[in-house]
Amino acid sequence: YYWYMILQSLNIIAAAIDISWLYMGIEDFKRTVVRNTMVKLVSLAMILIFVRDAGDVGIYIVILALSLIGGNLTLWPHLRVLLVKVSFKELHPLRHFIPTVSLFVPQIATQIYLILNKNMLGIFAGATSAGFYNQSDALVKVILGLVTATGTVMLPHVSNAFAKGETKKVNELLYNSFDFVSCLAIAMMFGLAAVSKYLGTMFYGPGFGPVGLALMIESIVIVLIGWSNVVGTQYLLPTNKVRSFTISVVFGAVVNIVLNFPFIYFWGLYGAVWATVLSELAVTAYQLWVVRHSIDLKKMFENFLKYLVAGIVMFIPIYYLELLWKPKDMNLQGIMYTGIEVVIGIVIYVIVLLILKPTILGKIKMIKK
């Protein structure tokens, strides 16, 4: 895959010119959201036009990479409005070096255990199993993007409150965010698991049947990563507990490495998926253990059982419909069946929540603000 790796290196250029962090820091999310939406639509259109068969993998990689580069470049022209001239004598970049490195370490650890499963699976079980894992992981990451989006929004907001010494506000933001993410993540976990059996075949085509069970297992990480995103990204980082955050991520990477060897050896693709789930569980459990004295865990989980009941009640009929209809093709009928399942699932989940009355129902207006 040498040539593909060369083409993928365009993503390094895209990362180098990415200044979306600036707009996140000043809480100007509209600009980045609009940019991301336009880039996704353009890249999707180009893929549909130019990618025709299995021989167009290189074209597919270039389209994705160039769309990232082009999207990141669109954020630069607005800098002339934001930035002001400063004296170089007033700049002291070295004082930021150590804090930057402390934030860099967990990013490296995260990347290690994100790609480790694919690499080890490819070595021990073959490229086919690695491909199944990658496709399953890609679909889960789409759902996770919705769940973890609150982290991008809340990080600068919590940092600002912490800098002002508003500890009570920081904790309230954490409780509200954790409750919202739990409600959303549990619904998405059970929803994805319910429609997963034939989703791999439907989405990727014949031969991708194993992706279905992998999706069902990996859907568990939607809740785990959602929680660790709230506790880690929205609390530990903005409250200057970077060391604890780093340890949690490194701990997850170590657990992943240790489990991968026996799990992949004995169970192949599904062993790698379970290793991912358990490593994310380790990260989340450690973070909750770290904050147990500074926040009220009972308050954080006060609605968990209600969301869990709503998720299980939703899962059963949707899974039955999936077995009944067997939507295996990305045709109008398959899309319609899946769409109906999603709508029914949402309705059931909402109805059960209205019956159980979790406290989030009274916080919706505040969350919107």
Please provide the average confidence, as pLDDT, over all residues in the chain.
Answer: 88
φ/ψ of residue 28, rounded to 5: -100, 75
DSSP code per residue over 283-313: HHHHHHHHTTTTS-HHHHTTTHHHHHHHHHH
Domain boundaries, the chain: 1-84, 108-368
pLDDT tens digit sequence for 102-147: 778 877 877 777 777 788 888 888 888 888 998 898 889 888 888 8
Q: Are 288 and 148 spatial neighbours (Cβ–Cβ below 8 Å)?
A: no
Residue 146 CA neighbour count, 13 Å, CB half: 14
What is the mean predicted confidence (pLDDT) over 63-90? 89
CA gap 150, 175 in Å, rounded: 13
Q: Is 8 left (phi over 0), alpha (psi -120 to 50) or beta?
A: alpha
- Residue 229: count of CB within 10 angstroms of its CB: 26
pLDDT tens digit sequence for 316-364: 999 999 999 888 887 888 889 999 999 999 999 999 999 999 988 887 6
Residues 6+ apart with CB under 8 A from 223: 182, 185, 186, 189
- Is residue 84 pLDDT above 70, yes or no? yes
**Higher-scoring residue by pLDDT: 365, 131:** 131
pLDDT tens digit sequence for 184-243: 999 999 999 999 999 888 888 888 889 999 999 999 999 999 999 889 888 898 888 888
pLDDT tens digit sequence for 246-294: 899 989 989 998 999 999 989 999 999 999 999 999 999 999 999 999 8
Closest CA to 109 of 232, 266, 256, 260: 256
Closest CA to 344 of 313, 307, 303: 313
